[in-house]
């Protein structure tokens, strides 16, 4: 059985693409970008193994979901599971699909891998390339300006500027025993966040 090795999910966010989106971060990356925002998800170890069809049903059960964003980790290392997930989703509903990859589109096409090619036919927007901290221009739904938005379908073409120029924001999702940050953080986010936590804890202690 094909399974997707999932590091984390967020069932509903507006911080990683247009509209309300279900976000999946896969476990395992073949790159090791300096300044990677999710170093815990680089090791190619087993996290949570999920049946892609069950995950698709879970996505479809979330009210008002307009799209899915896949990040990681490196999604294209799990192309077979993504192909199943996206195909099933598209059979059921015409959701938007956005995918990040450290591979460039050219590199993916050069692999001539039928499964990766199938995945590419199912993605609306591919955000490609590794993260380069010196090129982090503090705007848009990408980590650094070398990363290219490939509009593989016309779905989001009319809002292309939003992808490249949008003012960054993040959502903080509280979990039982942890906190999940969703989105591409603006410059100084860590300092501002720690300051806000300090202030909040002073109010709690008072």
Q: Which residues make up the interface to ligand SF4 (CB under 6 A)? A: 29, 31-33, 36, 38, 42, 72-74, 102, 130-131
Helix axis angle for 79-92 and 52-61, nearest 10°, is: 40
Q: Give the nearest residue (CB) to ligand SF4.
A: 102
Cα→Cα distances 72→65, 105, 154, 191, 200, Å: 20, 17, 25, 24, 30
Look at residues 27, 23, 19 and name the one whose alpha carbon lies nearest to residue 10: 23
Q: Residue 199 corresponds to which tokens in the numbers above?
A: 């202030």
| Smallest separation, CB 1 to ligand SF4 (Å) | 26
Smaller CB separation from ligand SF4, 117 or 146: 146
Instruction: Give min distance, CB of 106 to ligand SF4, in A.
Output: 16
Residue 172 sits at the vertex; the CA angle it makes with 36 and 5, to the nearest 5 degrees, is 55
Give the shortest CB-85-to-ligand SF4 separation in angstroms: 19
Shortest distance (Å) from residue 31 CB to ligand SF4: 4
Q: Which is nearer to ligand SF4, 22 or 131 (CB)?
A: 131
Nearer to ligand SF4 by Cβ, of 95 and 185: the residue is 185
Query: Measured at the alpha carbon of residue 138, what is the angle toward residues 133 and 143, in degrees to the nearest 5?
Result: 50
CB-nearer residue toward ligand SF4: 131 or 163: 131
Write down the least CB distance from residue 92 to ligand SF4, Å. Answer: 29
Q: Is residue 184 a contact partner of residue 140, using CB atoms and an 8 Å limit?
A: yes
> Do the beta carbons of residue 168 and residue 186 sit within 8 Å?
yes
Q: Among residues 29 and 126, whose Cβ is nearest to ligand SF4?
A: 29
């Amino acid at each position: 059985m094909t399974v997707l090795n999932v590091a984390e999910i967020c069932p509903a966010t507006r911080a990683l693409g247009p509209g309300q989106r279900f976000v999946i971060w896969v476990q395992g990356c073949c790159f090791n970008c300096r300044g990677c925002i999710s170093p815990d998800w680089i090791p190619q170890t087993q996290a949570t193994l999920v049946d892609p069809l069950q995950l698709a049903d879970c996505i479809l059960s979330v009210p008002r979901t307009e799209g899915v964003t896949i990040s990681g980790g490196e999604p294209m290392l799990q192309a077979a599971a993504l192909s199943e997930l996206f195909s099933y989703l598209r059979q059921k509903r015409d959701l938007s699909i956005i995918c990040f990859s450290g591979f460039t589109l050219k590199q993916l096409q050069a692999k001539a891998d039928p499964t990766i090619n199938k995945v590419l036919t199912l993605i609306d927007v591919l955000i490609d390339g590794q993260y380069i901290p010196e090129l982090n221009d503090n705007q848009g739904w990408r980590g650094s300006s070398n990363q290219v938005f490939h509009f593989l379908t016309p779905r989001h073409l009319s809002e292309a500027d939003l992808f490249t120029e949008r003012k960054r924001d993040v959502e903080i999702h509280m979990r039982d025993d942890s906190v999940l940050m969703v989105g591409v953080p603006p410059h100084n986010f860590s300092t501002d966040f720690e300051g806000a936590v300090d202030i909040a804890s002073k109010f709690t202690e008072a």
